[in-house]
Structure 1
Amino acid sequence: MLDEQVVTTETHVLHPHRHLLISGVIAALALTTPVFAVAYWLTISAGTWPIVIVVHLVAVLISAFVVLRYQRTTVTVSPEGIRERGFLGGASEIRNDEIGSLCLVEIYRDSMFDTQPNLFILDTSGSARIRMRGQYWSRADMDHVSDVLDRPIVNPPDSVTLSELRSSRPDWLYWFERVPLLSWL
């Protein structure tokens, strides 16, 4: 029997966890529904309810914008390279021949014993060009990136805390993670 290697030639578009979007929408509704219900109840008799409608419409438009931005957040991977379109609209791209390695680091979550995978796509100089955080991307998505790019994933032997990563590889982190007070984001 011959061993066959499957070569992936098509482009795959990956999306972040859908449950985060659903949880966010439910939380926004749980927060705003009682507030606007009371605001309408208090302002209808006074005749100032049009102001509440305007504020409510602004809140709905902001929520719709956030949902749209979340749905447009993607990682597109093909044998030629990988491209990330972030929540705020920024895009990062790296061609496969520019990739030095894929490093999967297990990072301890805030004061907990469980870890979360973080896939760092490093260029040939060792700089992190794209990061897939376990909060938003599944481990299967990270493995899929490795398969499509036909690159092995390098796993450090031990899990690390965010503080350890901040001191050893601050350039791999987002700007707000480099500041300890903002790392809860």
Structure 2
Amino acid sequence: MPEHATLPLVGHPDRRAFWRAYLVYAVVMLPFFILLYGLAGGSGELTAVLIVHLGLLLLGALAGIRYARTTIWLDADGLHERGFLGRVTFLPTERIGGHVVLDLHRSLASRPTPQLFVLDTEDRLFCRMRGEYWSRGKIDRFAAALPGACTRPTHPFTLDEMQRNHADLLYWYERSPFRLA
């Protein structure tokens, strides 16, 4: 461990990303449900619309709780990650290989977002901190505290470049030639 790292180092995703997603949901779904409530009011199906609406709100609340519980922490034992679905994975300190910090463009028209890829000693991806959910400051703090060599390319990568040259670092849906993002 680097001497300047204060352990344990704990990180949670940026809360603003969740609230932005929830705002988009409200903007898109609110007019739809207002229309459904108006149409269902005269036909007696108001209860069904209300149940569907409450169910979707409950799913959104559950997603918010799962998002808030997502955590990555580094301590003397190693790197731990509690993912969105609640699964906790662990990589012991002696098995932490290198890590890569780069900026990634989803498309050439988009702003690059920072990405941290943590690799084990066999160069397999253990976890990834995506700039869409984690602040640049958190990514940089973890990159400074992680043992092993840090690779920082000087230029931003596009998703197409990553798919061609470093597909093993991407999620399965980002490797697909039929991806929409």
TM-score range, shorter chain: 0.7 to 0.9
Contact 2:118 2:125 in 1 (8 A): yes
1: CA distance, partners of 2:107 / 2:5: 39
2: CA distance, partners of 1:39 / 1:16: 34
In the other structure, the counterpart of 1:21 is 18
CA RMSD of aligned residues (A): 2.1
Indicate the percent of aligned positions where both proteins have the same amino acid: 32
Q: CA deviation at 1:79?
A: 3.3
In the other structure, the counterpart of 2:137 is 140
The change in CA–CA distance for 1:23 and 1:157 in structure 2 (over 3 A counts) is closer
In the other structure, the counterpart of 1:62 is 59
Contact 2:98 2:148 in 1 (8 A): yes
Unaligned runs of 5+ in 1: none
Contact 1:92 1:130 in 2 (8 A): no
**Which amino acid in the other structure matches residue 41 of structure 1?**
G
1:1-185 mapped onto 2 (5 Å cutoff): 6=4, 8-9=6-7, 11-112=8-109, 114-151=111-148, 153-182=150-179, 184=181
Q: CA deviation at 1:170?
A: 1.5
In the TM superposition, what whole-angstrom CA distance separates every residue of 1:9-54 from its partner, at most 9, and x where no partner exists?
Answer: 3x23211121111111111222222222222222223222111121
Contact 2:105 2:156 in 1 (8 A): yes
Q: CA deviation at 1:182?
A: 2.0
1: CA distance, partners of 2:56 / 2:5: 47
Please say which structure displays the higher CA radius of gyration.
1
TM-score (norm 2): 0.86
Unaligned runs of 5+ in 2: none
In the TM superposition, what whole-angstrom CA distance separates every residue of 1:56-82 from its partner, at most 9, and x where no partner exists?
Answer: 121111111111121122212223321
Contact 1:80 1:149 in 2 (8 A): no
**Which amino acid in the other structure matches residue 92 of structure 2?**
R
Contact 1:104 1:120 in 2 (8 A): yes
Q: CA deviation at 1:155?
A: 1.0
The SS at the match of 1:112 is coil
